[in-house]
Amino acid sequence: MAEKETPPIILQFAPLNSSVDEGFWHSFSSLKLDKLGIDDSPISITGFSGPCSHPQVSNHLTLLSESLPLDEESLIGSTSHGNRNKCPVPGILYNTNTVESFNKLDKQSLLKAEAKKIWEDIQSGKALEDSSVLSRFLVISFADLKKWSFRYWFAFPALVLDPPVSLIELKPASEYFSSEEAESVSAACNDWRDSDLTTDVPFFLVSVSSDSKASIRHLKDWEACQGDHQKLLFGFYDPCHLPSNPGWPLRNYLALIRSRWNLETVWFFCYRESRGFADLNLSLVGQASVTLSSGESAETVPNSVGWELNKGKRVPRSISLANSMDPTRLAVSAVDLNLKLMRWRALPSLNLNVLSSVKCLLLGAGTLGCQVARTLMGWGIRNITFVDYGKVAMSNPVRQSLYTFEDCVGRGEFKAVAAVKSLKQIFPAMETSGVVMAIPMPGHPISSQEEDSVLGDCKRLSDLIESHDAVFLLTDTRESRWLPSLLCANANKIAINAALGFDSYMVMRHGAGPTSLSDDMQNLDINKTNTQRLGCYFCNDVVAPQDSMTDRTLDQQCTVTRPGLAPIAGALAVELLVGVLQHPLGINAKGDNSSLSNTGNNDDSPLGILPHQIRGSVSQFSQITLLGQASNSCTACSETVISEYRKRGNSFILEAINHPTYLEDLTGLTELKKAANSFNLDWEDDDTDDDDVAVDL
Ligand SMILES: [Zn+2]
């Protein structure tokens, strides 16, 4: 007991230390990217604390991944449930979008606002019902998600008592209590800690009766505890391990006690544990003088302190997770971030999940295939399969952007293999595979010995199309697109077609298959005139696909094009697919005309119009959109052809391959041709005078 004439000792409290688990920053990054965007409203978070049970984890307030709200609705005003070592403490997070706004935050006002909440909860009595509000904290932060670095600063607001609390005495609890009392207090504390109802209630009363029996009571029972008790102490879970200082939570506790019950001296009990049980040698009991100043009133919020020091200085802390993260994961995060930034600002309705989950099949891994794959990756598409039978030739790498000189030395790598390797090098998170296979073509007769292998290829192609969501037709001949066009129409898969002339290009999306309309469209409330299917690559033809490679000179056999065409057409093909994927009607979306929309950007379609065909020429630097409906005499997508394929299967395919006029006979094109006096259209021709093609410049 201190002598009365010695000057009062000011009670010193050990400040809290913030401890942020990496999982918190990972979860916060996801929340920021997926839900919050640029919204910088404050977020309710939950810190975790508990009685000290080890000197090395003393005075900690911890943030874990579960410190963040679980769903969007609970961003404000919810707390996680805790357990005995993770007692929840309500907190608030102010995250800024720039380092400048982080630096500009008015820290004094923010601290004051939290201190005011604590004071109001004391005055209203809320702190008696839910004592965790006495330990409110706040965090300001700036999350640099491009570099995975986080700057942050904690404050643990403490009301400043005036005059300050003076310490009368402080000693280990084991010395304060008699051994009989100590045994009973320990048992009562252990019961309190073991009960699910009270284990995370950090402030409580310890009442010891004259027969040395201890009980732990809720703060709101203070009045009921007045009477013949020999000892009544204000207990709290003390996160501190120091033998001569209580922890930080006692500050606001004393403010509550002084304001609520107007006591002059207080006995307090700093509850500490070892190995999960009450340890009265580590726990402290103290007596403090808490004289109420004459000027104090409920309306005036006391001053507050509490910004955490960083190694003794008033500066924020920072952490970088870049080094601790797997480089692949870093790459994925960075790629996702770029796409999400697009959604935050320019395209709020962009559905990125559709893009990351769509499976794309690229038929052809040449100039166009390389460009398409690269642009698909740019849009966040993760699943790409290549089909190609060629090898990387010496002339390829300069135009085919996935290959290097290394791929063509020796006998040359298969393009389908080299392209996969290249995608993985560019972005390791790609799910990609390559199939070395030639696509069977009509009008290229085969011997009976070849039949099995060709039909095997047909089956593989059919299976590949079935197992993907979108198919790109990027081969360098016209007839190699026939079977994939037919199979896509049959399976009702999205088909995107890109073809190059010398200085012109054509990019289009095929309409839905002929059998899809009756099934899918009747469920959609669409004007009847719009239910017409869009055409496929072969719909405008009056000649069936046939051998275009025989009898041609070298420059005609190879695709000799201006080098700028493939990047343009490949990019347009991908933009067209993204448009289809983001359109509510998907493959059934009608073809838009560029003239119908001024800016191509409105609320209904954030990406702009969704045309059927795009044709362009670099000799004129011009580009137009076209619309063509499906033709009843189409050799690839008409109902006649699809039902014949379904009926006859392999024998239909063999006949189409071996008999050049079979498809024309089947669809009536032969008759049409006779009528047109063998008028022949060049497939690379930009001629747009066909009756069923609408032209808009
Ligand atoms: Zn067609």
Question: Angle 352-354-360 (CA atoms, 0-180°, nearest 5)?
Answer: 115
- The predicted pLDDT at position 527 comes to 40
Least confident of 249-258, 301-310, 312-321, 545-554: 545-554
Residue 471 has pLDDT above 80, yes or no: yes
Q: How far is the CA of 553 from the centre of ligand 1 (A)?
A: 29
CA of 537 to the centre of ligand 1 (A): 6
pLDDT class of 4 with cuts at 50, 70, 90: low
Reported as a pLDDT band with limits 50, 70 and 90, residue 53 is: confident
Average pLDDT in the 306-311 region? 93
- pLDDT band, very low/low/confident/very high, at 6 (cuts 50, 70, 90): low
What is the DSSP code (8-state) at residue 477?
A: S
* pLDDT range class, residue 367, cuts 50, 70, 90: very high
Encoded tokens for 132: 């965790």
Whole-number Å distance between alpha carbons of 499 and 476: 8
Lowest mean pLDDT among 63-72, 356-365, 456-465, 591-600: 591-600
CA of 640 to the centre of ligand 1 (A): 11
Express each pLDDT in 171-223 by its tens digit.
999 999 999 999 999 999 999 999 888 888 999 999 998 888 999 999 998 88
Give catalytic residue positions: 558
Task: Report whether 507 contacts 498 (CB < 8 A).
Answer: yes
Specify whether the CB–CB gap between 520 and 495 falls below 8 A: no
Residues contacting 618, CB < 8 A, separation 6+: 503, 504, 562, 564, 565, 568
Record the tokens describing residue 573, joined without a space.
Answer: 């093909």
CA distance 685 to 697: 17
Q: What is the percentage of the chain residues whose pLDDT exceeds 70?
A: 86
**Which domains are delineated in the chain?**
11-158+310-325 (3.40.140.70), 166-300 (3.40.140.100), 351-696 (3.40.50.720)
Cross-strand pairs, 214: 208
d(CA 587, CA 509): 9
For residue 411, what are its two tokens?
A: 């006998």
Q: How crowded is residue 188: how many other Cβ atoms within 10 Å of its Cβ?
A: 21
pLDDT band at 69 (very low <50, low <70, confident <90, very high): confident
pLDDT at 491 over 50: yes
**Residue 613 · residue 623 · CB < 8 Å:** no
How far away, in angstroms, is 511 Cα from ligand 1 center? 8
Residues sharing a CB contact under 8 Å with residue 462, sequence separation 6 or more, in sequence order = 487, 491
Residues 549, 498: Cα–Cα separation, whole Å: 19
CB 479 within 8 A of CB 582: no
Calpha distance 538→545 (Å, rounded): 8
Q: Can you tell me the distance from the alpha carbon of 295 to that of 276, in angstroms, rounded to the nearest whole number?
A: 44
Chain position carrying tokens 């929309």: 597
Q: How far is the CA of 372 from the centre of ligand 1 (A)?
A: 23
User: 229: pLDDT confidence band, cut at 50, 70 and 90?
Assistant: low
What six digits make up the tokens of 424? 């993985």
Give backbone dihedrals phi and psi of 9, rounded to 5 degrees, phi first. -90, 125
Query: In which band, very low, low, confident or very high, does the pLDDT at 664 lie, cut at 50, 70 and 90?
Result: confident
CA of 539 to the centre of ligand 1 (A): 4
How far, in Å, from the CA of 197 to the mean position of ligand 1? 70
pLDDT band at 683 (very low <50, low <70, confident <90, very high): very low
Which of these, 268, 238, 316, lies nearest to 53 by C-alpha position? 238
Are β-strands 277-278 and 273-274 bridged in parallel, bridged antiparallel, or unpaired? Answer: antiparallel
Closest CA relative to residue 569, chosen from 687, 474, 471, 470: 474
Q: Is the peptide bond before 164 cis (omega within 30 degrees of 0)?
A: no
Mean pLDDT of all residues in 351-374: 95
Nearest CA to 231 out of 251, 215, 253 is that of: 215
Residue 101, H or E segment:
helix 99-104
What is the per-residue pLDDT for 370?
97
User: What residues flank ion ligand 1 with Cβ within 5 A?
Assistant: 536, 538-539, 634, 636-637
pLDDT at 163: 83
- pLDDT of 239: 94
The predicted pLDDT at position 16 comes to 92
Residue 249 has pLDDT above 50, yes or no: yes
Cα 632 to ligand 1 centre (Å): 8
In this prediction, residue 550 carries a pLDDT of 53
Q: What's the 149 CA to ligand 1 centre distance in angstroms?
A: 53
- Residue 191 token pair: 């019961």
Scan for tokens 């030639």, then name that residue.
438
CA of 638 to the centre of ligand 1 (A): 6
- The residue with tokens 């284990």 is 199
DSSP structure string for 292-319: PPTT--TTSPPPEEEEPPBTTBS--EEE
Any idea what DSSP says for residue 38? T
Highest mean pLDDT among 111-115, 335-339, 511-515, 650-654 belongs to 111-115
Whole-number CA gyration radius for the chain: 38
- CA 36 to centroid of chain Cα atoms: 11
Percentage with pLDDT > 90 across the chain: 57
Q: Using the predicted structure, report yes or no on whether residue 476 has a pLDDT greater than 90.
A: no
Taking only the tens place, the pLDDT of each residue in 518-535 is: 544 444 444 444 468 999
Compute the mean pLDDT over every residue in the chain, rounded to the nearest whole number. Answer: 85
Q: Kindly provide the b/e burial profile for residues 377-416, where b requires at least 16 CB atoms within 10 angstroms of the residue's own CB.
A: bebbbbbbbbbbbbbbeeebbebbbbbeeebbeeebbbbb
Long-range contacts of 223-230 (CB under 8 A, 24+ apart): none
Span from the CA of 478 to the centroid of ligand 1 (angstroms)? 13
C-alpha dihedral sign at 520, 526, 529, 533 = negative
Contact at 8 Å (CB) between 379 and 578?
yes
**628 C-alpha vs ligand 1 centroid, how far in Å?**
10
- Tell me the CA–centroid distance for residue 380 and ligand 1, in Å: 30
Dist. CA 435–CA 449, nearest whole Å: 23
Nearest to 523 by CA among 584, 458, 577: 584
Half-sphere exposure of 379 (CA within 13 A, CB side): 32
The two three-digit tokens of residue 409, written as one number: 């030395």
Least confident of 36-45, 62-71, 246-255, 454-463: 62-71
Whole-number Å distance between alpha carbons of 497 and 506: 8
**What is the three-class DSSP state of 639?**
helix
542 pLDDT band, cuts 50/70/90, is low
The string of pLDDT tens digits covering residues 403-439 is 999 999 988 999 999 999 999 999 999 999 999 999 9
Going by the DSSP 8-state scheme, the letter that residue 640 receives in this structure is H
Q: Check whether 323 has a pLDDT greater than 80.
A: no
Cα four-point dihedral sign 578, 582, 585, 590: negative
Phi, psi of 5 (to 5 degrees): -85, -10
- At residue 214, the pLDDT reads 92
Q: By the 8 A CB rule, do 388 and 414 touch?
A: yes
Strands (E), 504-563: 504-509
pLDDT band at 674 (very low <50, low <70, confident <90, very high): low
Mean pLDDT over residues 88-96, rounded?
Answer: 95
* Higher-confidence position of 556 and 271: 271
State in Å: Cα 441 to ligand 1 middle. 16
Backbone dihedral angles phi then psi of residue 253, each to the nearest 5 degrees? -60, -45
Indicate the residue type of 457: D
Q: What is the pLDDT of residues 114-170, one digit of tens each?
A: 999 999 999 999 999 999 999 999 999 999 988 889 999 999 999 998 888 899 999
- What's the confidence (pLDDT) of residue 335? 87
| Residue keyed to tokens 């054509």 | 506
Q: Is the pLDDT of residue 510 over 90?
A: yes
Cβ pair 105, 140 in contact under 8 A: yes
